[in-house]
Copies of this chain bind each other. A is one copy, B any other.
Amino acid sequence: MEYDFLISDRMRNVDPKPLDDMFSFGVDPTVISLACGNPDASLFPAAALAQAAFDVIAQEPVSALQYGKTKGYPPFLDYLCARLKQKQGVCCAEDELLITSGSQQGLELFAKVLLNEGDTVLVEEPAFIGSLNAFRSAGARLIGVPLERDGMSLAALDRLLTAHPETKFVYTIPTSNNPTGITMSVEKRRRFYEIVKKHRVFVAEDDPYSELRFDGKILPPIKCLDTEGLVLYFGSFSKILSPGLRVGYVCADPAMIRLLSVAKQTADLQTAVLQQMMILQYVRCNDLDAHINALRERYAAKCGVMLAAIDLYFPAGASRTEPDGGLFLWCDLNNGCDTNRLVSKAVQKRVAYVPGYAFTADLTNKQSTLRLNFSALPAEQITEGVRRLGSLLKTAEKDCTPGG
Interface residues of A (CB under 8 A from B): 1-4, 6-11, 14, 16, 19, 23, 36-39, 41, 44, 46-47, 49-51, 53-55, 57-58, 61-70, 100-102, 104-105, 108, 112-117, 130, 133-134, 136-138, 168, 228-229, 242-246, 253, 255-256, 259, 261-263, 265-275
Query: Judging by beta carbons under 8 Å apart, are A8 and B112 in contact?
Result: yes
With A and B bound together, what is the CA distance between A275 and B67 in angstroms? 14
Q: How many copies does the complex hold?
A: 2
Residue of B nearest to A274 (CB): B244
> A66 with B53: in contact, given A46-B61, A272-B275 (CB under 8 Å)?
no
Known: A9-B116, A266-B134. A50 touches B44 (CB 8 A): no
CA of A63 to CA of B61, assembled, Å: 24
Q: Which residues of B contact A2 (CB under 8 A)?
A: 255
Chain B residues with CB under 8 A of A102? 268-269
Q: List 25 A-B contacts (CB under 8 A).
A: A1-B255, A3-B255, A4-B255, A4-B259, A6-B114, A7-B114, A8-B114, A14-B266, A16-B265, A36-B67, A37-B67, A41-B61, A44-B66, A46-B58, A46-B65, A47-B58, A51-B54, A54-B54, A65-B244, A67-B243, A101-B271, A104-B267, A134-B267, A246-B270, A272-B272
Per DSSP, are chain A's interface residues mostly helix, strand or loop, or mixed? helix
Instruction: Please state if B41 and A46 are interface contacts (CB–CB under 8 Å).
Output: no
Residue of B with least CB distance to A44 = B65
Give the docked Cα–Cα distance between A19 and B244 (Å): 29
Contact A65 B259 (CB under 8 A): no
Whether A268 contacts B243 in the complex (CB less than 8 A), given A23-B69, A255-B2, A263-B137, comes out as no
Give the residues in chain B near A70, CB-CB below 8 Å: 23
A50 touches B58 (CB 8 A): yes
B residues within 8 A CB of A37?
67
7 nearest CB pairs, A to B: A46-B61, A50-B57, A53-B53, A54-B54, A1-B229, A65-B242, A105-B268
Our pick among B8, B62, B130, B262 for the contact of A116 (Cβ within 8 Å) is B8
Given contacts A51-B54, A62-B44, A266-B134, contact A272 B256 (CB under 8 A): no
Question: A265 touches which one: B19, B117, B262 (CB < 8 A)?
Answer: B19
Across the interface, A268 reaches (CB within 8 A) one of B61, B64, B104, B168, namely B104
